[in-house]
């Protein structure tokens, strides 16, 4: 029979082996996920000229409000910590955007907003850059100018932490960073020869609504929630649509819509009447547009 000393040494060696194996596995997961996040290259081509004209800055503020900067980064752009919304991420932090914009140049901000690449050259994880890929250069420039001019409100924020669960999903190929999602966003379908109102409406829809409703606006999953095909809005009258966008209340008085009720009041209520008209005109064309089940973005997890 083995004596106590031999048994003790065996247990020590076993525990040491388990500890070493765990450390090696953790190192592999961390290294592999960091490599994946770092395998991105910012695309050049954005020409930015500083413009402090009040009308230009107001355009930037309008873009920031209607596209959700205040909703995710705080009503004073002071930054927010997301815990319940991103429970599987270690610590999800939307930075102090006013301070961030002052600390970095226009090219860095553009890469984050439209390309999903952070100031450290790594892909972002929770910034919905795919929603802003199609932002026109003029609107992107106005947004940057506004953010860099916005007052900085000091707020203590923790360091963001991707966490082991998210890193494991990356290693298993079950989750993609925002830079990868962004490159799958298709181009606008309408052009100079099409109805100008529909052109404007498509631009609004595909820099606003695709964050939740799919790149083609025909429905998608947002977490565990199924987001509807926006062709449903063709059934809305002008007044019903405006009421929905201004108050978050759908036909029948429903004001508890998943995300939509909150987002409408924080973002869409600030669209102009002309923008709402353009947007609805475009959404009314969706029932006649076929859905491509093989679109590349649908294949992403």
Q: Which CATH class is domain 196-299?
A: mainly alpha
Domain boundaries, the chain: 54-183, 196-299
Helix (H, G, I), strand (E, B) or coil at 120: coil
Do residues 78 and 143 make contact, with C-beta atoms less than 8 angstroms apart? no
C-alpha–C-alpha distance, residues 163 and 157, integer Å: 17
15 Cβ contact list (under 8 Å, min separation 6)? none
C-alpha–C-alpha distance, residues 113 and 100, integer Å: 12
Q: Does the pTM exceed 0.85?
A: yes
C-alpha–C-alpha distance, residues 261 and 254, integer Å: 9
pLDDT tens string, the chain, 301 residues long: the values are 557 766 667 777 888 888 888 889 999 999 999 999 999 999 887 888 889 999 999 999 999 999 999 999 999 999 999 877 666 788 889 999 999 999 999 999 999 999 999 999 999 988 999 999 999 999 999 999 999 999 999 999 999 999 999 999 999 988 889 999 999 999 999 999 999 999 999 999 999 999 889 999 998 755 566 788 899 999 999 999 999 999 999 887 777 777 888 999 999 999 999 999 999 999 999 999 888 888 888 877 5
C-alpha–C-alpha distance, residues 132 and 230, integer Å: 18
């Amino acid at each position: 029979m083995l004596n106590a000393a031999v048994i003790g040494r065996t247990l020590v060696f076993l525990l040491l082996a388990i500890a070493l194996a765990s450390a090696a596995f953790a190192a592999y997961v961390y290294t592999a996920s960091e490599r994946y996040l770092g395998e991105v290259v910012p695309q050049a081509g954005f020409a930015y000229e500083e413009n402090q004209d009040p009308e230009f800055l107001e355009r930037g503020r309008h873009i920031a409000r209607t596209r959700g900067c205040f909703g995710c980064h705080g009503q004073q752009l002071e930054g927010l910590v997301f815990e319940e919304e991103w429970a599987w991420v270690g610590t999800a932090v939307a930075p102090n955007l006013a301070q961030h914009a002052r600390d970095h140049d226009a090219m860095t901000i553009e890469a984050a907003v439209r390309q999903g690449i952070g100031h450290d050259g790594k892909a972002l994880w929770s910034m919905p850059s795919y929603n802003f890929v199609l932002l026109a250069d003029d609107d992107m420039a106005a947004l940057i100018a506004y953010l860099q001019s916005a007052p900085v409100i000091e707020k203590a924020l923790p360091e963001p932490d991707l966490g082991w669960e998210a890193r494991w999903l990356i290693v298993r190929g079950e989750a993609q960073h925002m830079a990868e999602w962004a490159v799958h966003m298709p181009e606008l379908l309408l052009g100079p020869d099409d109805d100008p109102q529909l052109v404007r409406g498509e631009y609004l829809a595909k820099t606003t609504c695709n964050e939740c409703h799919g790149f083609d606006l025909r429905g998608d999953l947002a977490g565990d929630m199924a987001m509807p095909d926006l062709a449903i809005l063709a059934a809305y009258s002008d007044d019903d649509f405006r009421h929905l966008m201004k108050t978050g209340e759908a036909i029948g008085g429903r004001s508890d819509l998943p995300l939509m009720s909150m987002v409408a009041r924080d973002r869409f209520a600030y669209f102009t009447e002309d923008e709402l008209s353009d947007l609805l005109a475009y959404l009314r064309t969706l029932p006649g547009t076929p859905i491509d089940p093989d679109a590349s973005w649908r294949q992403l997890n």
